[in-house]
Amino acid sequence: MKALAHFLAGVAALASAPLAAQTVAITGGRVVVGDGSEPIDGGTVVIRDGRVAAAGAGVTVPAGATVIDATGKWVTPGIVAGFSRIGLTEVDAVDATNDIQATNSPFSAAIDVVPAINPQAVSIAVNRAAGVTRAIVSPATGRSIFAGQGAVIDLGSDMQPITRARAFQFIELGEEGAQDAGGSRASAHVLLRNALREARDLRLPIGGGATRETRESDAPIEDISENPYILPDARRPEDVLLTRFDAAALVPVLQGRQLLLVHVERASDILQTLALKQEFPRLRLVLVGVAEGWRVAEQIAAAQVPVIANALQDLPSSFEQLAATQSNIGRMLAAGVPVAIGMNNEDESRQVRVSTQFAGNLVGIGRVPGHSGLSWNEAFAAISSRPAEAIGLGGEIGSLRPGRRGDVVIWDGDPLELATGVEAVWIDGVQQNLENRQTRLRDRYRQPQEGALPNAYDR
Amino acid sequence: MKSHWGIAAAAAVAMLGGCAAQTEGPATASSERSSNRYTPPDDPYPSTYRAYPGVPTAITGATVFDGEGGRIDNGTVVLVDGRIQAIGGADTPIPEGAVRIDGTGRWVTPGVIDVHSHLGDYPSPGVEAHSDGNEVTSPVRPEVWAEHSVWPQDPGFSRALVNGGVTTLQVLPGSANLFGGRGVTLRNVPARTVQGMRFPGAPRGLKMACGENPKRVYGNRNQMPGTRMGNVALMRQTWQRAAEYRDKRTRDPSTARDLALETLVEVLEGDVLVHNHCYRADEMAVMMDMAREFGFRISTFHHAVESYKIADLLRENDVCSAMWADWWGFKMEAYDAVNENIPLVHNAGACAIVHSDDPNGIQRLNQEAAKALADGRRMGIDISDAVAWRWLTFNPARALGIDEETGSLRVGKRADVVLWNGDPFSVYSRPQQVWIDGALLYDMNDPRLRPVSDFELGQPGEGDVK
């Protein structure tokens, strides 16, 4: 018993130690707020109670704060991975570890990534060490245009990764959507409309065996377990394709209470997606991918639909990306489209750390005649506040404005430069361990030859 | 009937106690081995590449990385008649009438060389009809040649030129097979035919693959190989057949020609270079033993995610490692990647190369090198920028057997040159101008010098900046 008590006390100490968010003042660094504003030299960032208390020039260091001198360093909000699959897989090609996609699932829209997120995935630690602190995590489609519901997570080392569960529904409406829908884009659009109809037609029990239709004034559904549309006496018409669970999951989308992220690349697919707003005015769309966005940038801007785009896609890798160019994001931004950088390619599950490199490239192309690059400030915002805003969490994460989560990174130089390293990371005000499996392997093989004992003893 | 390869004759001489260089084919290069390697006399698909015309050009005032590790500040590089005529400091003589380019604040390097590309055999758009990189009909397919799959209209070639400063690349078959077929080294110059891109005189490669891919592809068909030991057994059996075939052909030149074994015999003779897809340290060690067992040389392990674990063995065996900076985890054999792989291999005295295997990555090989270099420095491995540039040009040129021709800014070599608009290890820099054999084939200030493949002509975005 005594041993057990000891053990439990030890566990409690271990668990509570890193969670104790101290008051920290980081002084003297070049502070990047992340909202597109100019960096502030010699600024101070104060983190208190897990949140940013203040950031900028002339900030007073609170009494009792741990002061960290960041003279000569850059201090920024943590990077927000704009679109990813991080935490959903350990090794992509090892199916048993890969929860990105459920090809044989009977469900689609109802799928929720939350139970699949593994905060101890090596990729979480590896990307945290590179300054990524939050990620938008989406499932991929299996055999429906509906992938299911994605989440916003943190990359902290604790076991509570979820920042916002069920933040959005993700669907495919381009080439992939056509395939998911049985072979054509037209079918994908019918499937979408039918699904939204089925969601609309779900009838809510109002007692005494009576039911009524969904109303926009109905309380938002925050959690599947609270969703009244899946109760057994909530009636449905006979003519349905979706399971009740899937249809019920689409009610918040229809109500405009849950974002609908739509992957499209081709200019015409983008316009068809924007047109959905005429039929379903409450939809809150976010476009993902959008390689040909620059061709219809004015229409996207007019609709004020945020975009999460792949920064460096410049090949006609499919017929829906013929006009791809690295100037896409710059041109859309110039047209007034709110644009963030996201992955949407093979980097999305493990390599969201290249976000800084991608953003830097968009600054670099600005020096090539004919290209539309981003200013440095816009580029950094595209991997911090813009993705946060696109996903509806601009008030919570993605910048160092007061009140935001205490996600802060100290870099030894310009965070968009290739040679720059990360010196320290806080998530929710908790300083993070930056060691990971990769750094451990590196240290073990600094000298590869065996010493007095095999390398396996070297740790 | 004319001897179709010259190898049988060479082998016969060797068996009679002759050794060293047979001088079949034109001796175009000065290296001892080159006379055997360059332009096999019977090459049935010979290069028709011709350098495009250039004008005498002098770049002055630039920071120059010569590709072999040297750096010249305020340097001058002179290109004349398609070759490097001079490289030196500010006092380097400039021929009269040469076009002068002010390189102040800019960098000059040799053109980037990618030792591992699938441009053309997995081109854009990546549709099924274009999927020509893996002859997945048998694990042993040394008879196929990647060049016979290359679609010269792949728009990816131009992206590699314009954004990556890539002037030479090896296109390889995929890794589904133990013996994937021959690779081909290309000039990155748009052409109507693959022969119009072939690097004249460059030896061909043989793509081999260890590990997961072959055993997965064929194991799933209940066919050998289904395991790593199956991989090795089938490779050994095949090398044994090749050795026997060589001996038989040597004794009796009328022996029926076997195009598959012919490739392998050319490897045994040192005329075709082995490029071995191999991730894990333990498998690389087995492959190096296999090379000793059958008497062939492995030029380069490709992907080589675990080279850092056996950097000493790689140095001893003089095998290059072609690596990514930080790509990892997509499959089990890529799980043990470290960001410092490239500098660790270099630091051990082994040959390190940055490669892409990817139509996007090939546009940013300089950036991959920069990341690896910085990660190495953070762990205390001090490598200068100029030395790190070897990973991008001189070392891949060596691995491809073309280092007498390109890969560094030595006088007399091909004038494959990139003028960068800033430090090429900065994320903010791009190629400003690119010369191949002294011909200016890209100029960021001149939209007419932006190649547009047939595929992109008449399509949205034609001729756009990319």
Q: What per-residue string of b and e applies to B34-67 under the rule 16 or more CB within 10 Å gives b?
A: bbbbbbbeeeeeebebebeebebbbbbbbbbbbb
- Tell me the C-alpha to C-alpha distance, in Å, between residue B1 and each of B79, B218, B246, B259: 44, 38, 18, 16
| Residues 6+ away with beta carbon under 8 Å from B66 | B72, B87, B110, B386, B408, B409, B410
With contacts defined as CB-CB under 8 Å, which chain A residues touch B427? 357, 360-361, 363-364, 416-418
* Pair (A211, A272) in one structural domain: yes
Q: Minimal Cα–Cα distance from A58 to chain B, Å?
A: 32
* Pair (A320, A171) in one structural domain: yes
In a domain, A402, yes or no: no
What count of Cα atoms within 13 Å lies in the side-chain half-sphere of residue B389? 26
With contacts defined as CB-CB under 8 Å, which chain B residues touch A267? 460
Q: Please state the domain count of chain A.
A: 2
Q: Is the pLDDT of residue A228 over 60?
A: yes
Over the stretch A234-273, which tens digit does the pLDDT of each residue have?
Answer: 677 777 899 999 999 999 999 899 999 999 999 999 999 9
Please give the model's pTM, rounded to 2 decimal places. 0.92
Q: Which of B132, B137, B162, B134 is nearest to B150 (CA)?
A: B132
Question: Using CA atoms in the order A101, A106, A107, A112, what is the torsion angle rounded to 10 degrees?
Answer: -50
In a domain, B99, yes or no: no
C-alpha span between B282 and A443 (Å, rounded) = 19
Q: Is the pLDDT of residue B26 over 90?
A: no
Residue A202 pLDDT level (bands cut at 50, 70, 90): confident
Residue A224 pLDDT level (bands cut at 50, 70, 90): low
pLDDT at residue B38, as a whole number: 30
Q: CATH number of the domain that A13 lies in? A: 2.30.40.10
* Pair (A285, A425) in one structural domain: no
Q: Minimal Cα–Cα distance from B447 to chain A, Å?
A: 9
Helix/strand/coil (H/E/C) assignment for every residue in B285-330: HHHHHHHHHHCCCEEEEEECCCHHHHHHHHHHHCCEEEECCCCCCC
Q: Please state the domain count of chain B.
A: 1
Average pLDDT value over all residues in chain B:
92
| Residues 6+ away with beta carbon under 8 Å from B311 | A448, B344, B345, B347, B348, B349, B350
Between strands A285-289 and A259-264, the pairing is parallel
Bridge partners, B107 (sequence order): B63, B420
Stretch B360-365: mean pLDDT: 98
pLDDT at residue A205, as a whole number: 72
pLDDT at residue A20, as a whole number: 62
* Pair (A91, A64) in one structural domain: no
In a domain, A154, yes or no: yes
Among A310, A314, A320, most B C-beta atoms within 10 A, so best to mutate, is: A314
In a domain, B57, yes or no: no
In a domain, A241, yes or no: yes
Stretch A394-410: mean pLDDT: 98
Interface contact B427-A417, CB threshold 8 A: yes
pLDDT at residue B417, as a whole number: 98
Among A315, A341, A357, most B C-beta atoms within 10 A, so best to mutate, is: A315
Q: CATH number of the domain that B316 lies in? A: 3.20.20.140
DSSP A205: E
* Pair (A274, A342) in one structural domain: yes
pLDDT at residue A15, as a whole number: 42
Residue A114 pLDDT level (bands cut at 50, 70, 90): very high
* Pair (A150, A268) in one structural domain: yes
Two structure tokens written together for B347: 């630091």
| Residues 6+ away with beta carbon under 8 Å from A187 | A178, A181
In a domain, B51, yes or no: no
Please report the number of interchain residue pairs, chain A to chain B, with beta-carbon separation below 8 angstroms.
Answer: 160
**% of chain A exceeding 70 in pLDDT:** 91
Q: Is the pLDDT of residue B409 over 50?
A: yes
Stretch A393-413: mean pLDDT: 98
| Residues 6+ away with beta carbon under 8 Å from A301 | A332, A335, A336, A337
In a domain, B294, yes or no: yes
With contacts defined as CB-CB under 8 Å, which chain A residues touch B430? 364-365, 367-368
pLDDT at residue B449, as a whole number: 96
A431 lies in which domain range?
A: 2-77+417-442
Over the stretch B321-339, which tens digit does the pLDDT of each residue have?
Answer: 999 999 999 999 999 999 9
B349 lies in which domain range?
A: 111-410
**% of chain B exceeding 90 in pLDDT:** 90
Query: Could you tell me how far CA A451 lies from the centroid of its own chain?
Result: 44
Q: CATH number of the domain that A345 lies in? A: 3.20.20.140
* Pair (A70, A200) in one structural domain: no
C-alpha span between B238 and B261 (Å, rounded) = 8
Residue B12 pLDDT level (bands cut at 50, 70, 90): very low
Last residue in a domain, options A368, A397, A426: A397
In a domain, B126, yes or no: yes
Among A126, A310, A445, A449, most B C-beta atoms within 10 A, so best to mutate, is: A445
Interface contact B444-A368, CB threshold 8 A: yes
In a domain, A447, yes or no: no
Q: Minimal Cα–Cα distance from A353 to chain B, Å?
A: 10
pLDDT at residue A221, as a whole number: 64
- Tell me the C-alpha to C-alpha distance, in Å, between residue B359 and each of A143, A170, A257, A300, B150: 29, 27, 40, 29, 14
C-alpha span between B225 and B232 (Å, rounded) = 9
pLDDT at residue A203, as a whole number: 75
pLDDT at residue A217, as a whole number: 66
Q: What per-residue string of b and e applies to A391-416 under the rule 16 or more CB within 10 Å gives b?
A: bbbbebbbbbbeebbbbbbbbbbbbb
In a domain, A89, yes or no: yes
With contacts defined as CB-CB under 8 Å, which chain B residues touch A417? 426-428
Residue B462 pLDDT level (bands cut at 50, 70, 90): very high
Residues 151-180 of chain B with CB under 8 A from chain A are 155-156, 159, 163
Q: Is the pLDDT of residue A308 over 90?
A: yes
Residue A226 pLDDT level (bands cut at 50, 70, 90): low
Question: 3-class SS at A212?
Answer: strand
ipTM: 0.92
Closest partner residue to B159 (CB to CB) among A315, A351, A446 is: A315
With contacts defined as CB-CB under 8 Å, which chain B residues touch A328? none
Q: Minimal Cα–Cα distance from B149 to chain A, Å?
A: 18
Q: Which residue has the higher pLDDT, B8 or A39?
A: A39
Q: Is the pLDDT of residue B47 over 50?
A: yes
Two structure tokens written together for A418: 């290739």
Over the stretch B374-394, which tens digit does the pLDDT of each residue have?
Answer: 999 999 999 999 999 999 999
Average pLDDT value over all residues in chain A:
92
Question: 3-class SS at B196?
Answer: coil
Stretch A414-428: mean pLDDT: 98
Over the stretch A4-40, which tens digit does the pLDDT of each residue have?
Answer: 444 444 444 444 444 567 899 999 999 999 999 999 9
With contacts defined as CB-CB under 8 Å, which chain A residues touch B127? 318-319
| Residues 6+ away with beta carbon under 8 Å from A209 | A233
Over the stretch B182-193, which tens digit does the pLDDT of each residue have?
Answer: 999 999 999 999
Residue B210 pLDDT level (bands cut at 50, 70, 90): very high
Closest partner residue to B125 (CB to CB) among A91, A92, A319 is: A319
